[in-house]
Structure 1
């Protein structure tokens, strides 16, 4: 794969090509700060060519038998699995995720997702409706055409497949614009799509600037749907643009998730789950349980156990299998995270783990010591704003009503969870927590057959589950006169 080299091209209309302008940008290894590769930078003209090639490829794709398309997607999944170690290492070097997460989580999720959607291809059905008089009325689901997909840097491998797989399964082509900070795995996945035998132009991968390639994709008249994962601010802009063009947009945006731990929970289990869920991927996770709400009887014990785990965490080279926390994606991310730590201290929260010292002099790489804040109140910035880094805020509560009020006291609604041995309480909270993904006595469990969606400022729509049949197709109603 070319993406494994130090010079990476666009994947466009079945070829590896230079950008039309000849422009390139560097992607940097966040563990060292050194340049990792030079990447072709797509222009608006490249986006136009990709969309046009996508329409031609989609027509060819749609003429194939569903079973034939399914076999090609299974072959694609097999190639991703075959190259899993290479893809994992590429991701780790490009954005800093520890290798054991890239290998043990992200690669299996990609393979499972492709296999699930390969199976869904032969399950897309219409319906027959009761019709008045001498008529037959039935519906069919048809492909949209070309899907414009824009993915983030924090899960570059998984998010690319979460958009490619449903797009292809529903008969569409996809033009993927990966994040500029982590373009290498998406480019490799574009190459593997060609190797799998998918029609040229069915999967186009165009690294580049959001303000150029991203905007051109969102505004292109040949794009029938936008599937975006990223920040809430950018998602709102994309939603407005899509609305102006009267096309649909699936938007998976930010989060400030709450994990509620009641006094009947095991403090050791809560601390273990919180540590894994909060600090995996350096806290650069939309569903990270960055607000830990703990009932007073176990508050001190949970804090002590979490702090113990955080202080013992292995921070370092993400290519080392013993590393638990790698570097943040770049210097700007580290500066942003540190600004929240200093804000938390200024607002009166207690920094129970971590450091308020300026990390900018640390070299090499963009590492940041994981932090835990206690004595946090609901109105503090660290309790309201998405930090997107390894910073946990712990808030005490007394009683169910207070817990629900605290958990739902956010503009976001991506994830939430509750730990309790009381089944009735668990079900009450599952009903009243205002988020698209709810976990009970667990966190972060996913399955490609289950929708992954957000509420409120966390967006809307889904990249997973059977909901994608509606989201990535259009419904046509057919009326037949019978006399």
Structure 2
């Protein structure tokens, strides 16, 4: 593989190969895709633009490797995952540095969240596999869970490493073989992960990686007759196109797509505490999280207080170079998303929302890079586009309500249903509200992250689940063997 690393071990320069059948192999095209540093708007690397023929080779390798890997002892798969986990921890700093450069994650956030949470997905898969019963009896019938086969995994640019491990780890634990297509906008951490899997001793063909565009590689994966399952994290448009392309081969498709998650602050919440936490949760990863709680739903009589606290919180955020330890928010990950965020901020102003802070344009002192001013709107109503469309940037909508029933109605007034938050001192009331919110996850009073909690969406946020045993079982088929056990005397 034509490649290079800098003094920190960070992947740079050109990568003209795909990882197929246990080795880096040249692709069939000479076309290279640029990787742009969003803080400097400069090309820092190039990756090979794979073609459908390269995908065919990867799928063939995965298909050939599947029977032996599916039949491998659980102990062998556990040992492989343990080695991958260990190597990720050993290479945590180069991975964090790469994430900061390829998609603008603040280095502190890359070190504290992107890398360790990605490793946590592998640890969770290990814990699930260690205790999982692949054969259970119900009377005389055996229920057998078997690996589904060759899995095509399509991952996004906003959490590039985290989403890779959330899919690869349970797939390998289940005994599946995989072909990964990472985002062409942030592919360098994926290349480093592929090298980790190689160095961990994965059998040839068990893990494969082909870079390329969604139009070329993603579409070919979705329609490929020898891929048994597609798992995609991405936009609603991409998810719908994949599902359509997959339909003729009747393969399983799991989708984790967009969101417009509510954060309901009940009247008895501790507003000086929960409002700053809510702002930072919405702005985490520069707002580029599909489950970000970007609609803060608050009592109308508390609106002025919430606005003041939220404004002070946002104005204290350090926006800057992602490689600076002091930076809280780096740039938006790419030009197209930067342009969309700017357009949505302008749309919020034109639509009549009250601008609490921020607004269009770059922050002061940033004439270059895809930097966005942390922006908060208030007086937002459900009829406004900024309340309904996923912005995917550091933009928060504050929406007032008059009673708890209206708060729940506002929370559910969206085509999405991925995440949700509820804050309140009365835990029973908070639980009751959480049960009424139509989303795949709800966080009560800022709980700790749980790698085993199922994650996925209602409505247009997708289908299927990731994380823990629920994500693991997405990669399994169910077989019933009647008469497996002798009938009782």
TM-score where L is the length of structure 1: 0.95
Separation in 2, partners of 1:363, 1:12: 42
1:149 aligns with 2:153: yes
1:89 to 94, 97, 121: 97
SS of aligned partner of 1:6: strand
Between 240-249 and 420-429, report the one with greater CA deviation.
240-249
**Equivalent residue, structure 1, for 2:458:** 455
Cα distance change, pair 293–215 in 1 and its aligned pair in 2 (3 A): same
2:49 corresponds to: 41
Q: Which runs of 4+ in 1 moved over 6 A?
A: 358-361
Unaligned residue ranges in structure 1 (runs of 5+): 131-135
1:478 alignment counterpart:
481
Q: State the Cα distance separating 1:472 from its structure 2 match.
A: 0.5
1:411 aligns with 2:399: no
1:219 aligns with 2:223: yes
SS at match of 1:437: coil
CA distance in 1 between partners of 2:295 and 2:39 (Å): 27
- Aligned equivalent of 2:35: 27
Q: Does 1:129 align with 2:138?
A: yes
Q: Quick check: 1:65 aligned with 2:73?
A: yes
Aligned residues of 1:270 and 1:302 also touching (Cα < 8 A): no
Q: Does 1:54 align with 2:54?
A: no
Could you tell me how far apart the structure 2 residues matched to 1:258 and 1:342 are?
Answer: 22
Per-residue CA deviations over 1:116-147 (Å, capped at 9, x if unaligned) read: 212322423222223xxxxx421211111111
Query: The residue matched to 2:420 in structure 1 has which SS?
Result: strand
Contact 1:263 1:297 in 2 (8 A): no
Asked whether the 8 Å contact 1:124–1:469 carries over to 2, the reply is no
SS of 1:121's equivalent?
helix
Cα pair distance change 1:357/1:77, threshold 3 Å: closer
Query: Which segments of 5 or more consecutive residues in structure 2 lack a partner in the other structure?
Result: 5-9
What are the equivalent positions in structure 2 for 1:21-420 lying under 5 Å apart?
A: 21-122=29-130, 123-130=132-139, 136-357=140-361, 363-420=367-424
Tell which deviates more after alignment, 27-36 or 471-480. Answer: 471-480
Please, which moves more after superposition, 296-305 or 405-414? 296-305
Q: Deviations over 1:266-286 (max 9, x none)?
A: 112122211221111111110
* Separation in structure 2 between the aligned mates of residue 331 and residue 470 of structure 1, nearest angstrom: 37
1:366-407 Cα deviation digits (max 9, x unpaired): 111110011211110111110011111111111111101111
Taking structure 2 as the reference length, the TM-score comes to 0.94
Q: Report the Cα distance in structure 1 between the residues aligned to 2:364 and 2:245, rounded to whole angstroms.
A: 38
Q: Distance in 1 between matches of 2:378 and 2:205?
A: 52
Q: Output one character per residue of 1:264-306: Cα deviation in whole Å (capped at 9) or x when no partner.
A: 1111212221122111111111011111111123221121111
- TM-aligned CA deviation for residue 452 of structure 1: 0.6
In structure 1, how many angstroms separate the alpha carbons of the residues matched to 2:362 and 2:127? 51
Q: In the alignment, what sits opposite 1:133?
A: none
| Deviation for aligned residue 1:359 | 8.2
Q: Is the 8 A contact 2:360 2:373 kept in 1?
A: no
Deviation at 1:258, TM superposition (A): 0.6
Say if 1:282 and 1:328, in contact at 8 Å, map to a contact too. yes
Moved more, 59-68 or 77-86: 59-68
In the alignment, the residues of structure 1 paired with residue 365 and residue 317 of structure 2 have an alpha-carbon distance, to the nearest angstrom, of 21
From 9, 12, 24, give the equivalent of 2:20: 12
**Aligned residue pairs, count:** 477
The answer to whether the 8 Å contact 1:242/1:249 transfers is yes
Aligned equivalents of 2:30, 2:133: Cα separation in 1: 42
Contact 1:60 1:199 in 2 (8 A): no
Measure the CA separation in 2 of the matches of 1:247 and 1:156: 24
Q: Tell me the CA shift for residue 153 of structure 1.
A: 0.3
- After TM superposition, give the deviation of residue 361 of structure 1 in Å: 12
Q: CA offsets per residue over residues 142-161 of structure 1, 9 Å max, x none?
A: 11111100001000010000
Structure 1 CA distance for aligned equivalents of residues 482 and 422 of structure 2: 49
Report the 3-state secondary structure (helix = DSSP H, G, I; strand = E; otherwise coil) of the residue aligned with 2:178.
Answer: strand
The answer to whether the 8 Å contact 2:118/2:162 transfers is yes
d(CA) in 1 for partners of 2:204 and 2:467? 25
User: Are the equivalent residues in 1 in contact too, given 2:148–2:176 (CA < 8 A)?
Assistant: yes
Partners of 2:429 and 2:166 in 1: how far apart?
A: 33
Per-residue CA deviation, residues 196-237 of structure 1 (Å, 9 max, x unaligned), is 001112111111110001111111111000000001121122
Cα offset, 1:19, TM superposition: 1.5
Q: CA deviation at 1:93?
A: 0.4
How far is the alpha carbon of 1:60 from its aligned partner? 2.8
Q: Distance in 2 between matches of 1:316 and 1:469?
A: 38
Judged with a 3 Å threshold, the aligned counterparts in structure 2 of structure 1 residues 357 and 139 are, in CA distance, closer, same or farther, namely closer
Secondary structure of 1:217's match? helix
CA distance in 2, matches of 1:69, 1:367: 43
Partner-residue secondary structure (3-state), 2:320: coil
Q: Compared with structure 1, are the counterparts of its residues 92 and 394 closer, same or farther at alpha carbon in structure 2 (3 Å cutoff)?
A: same
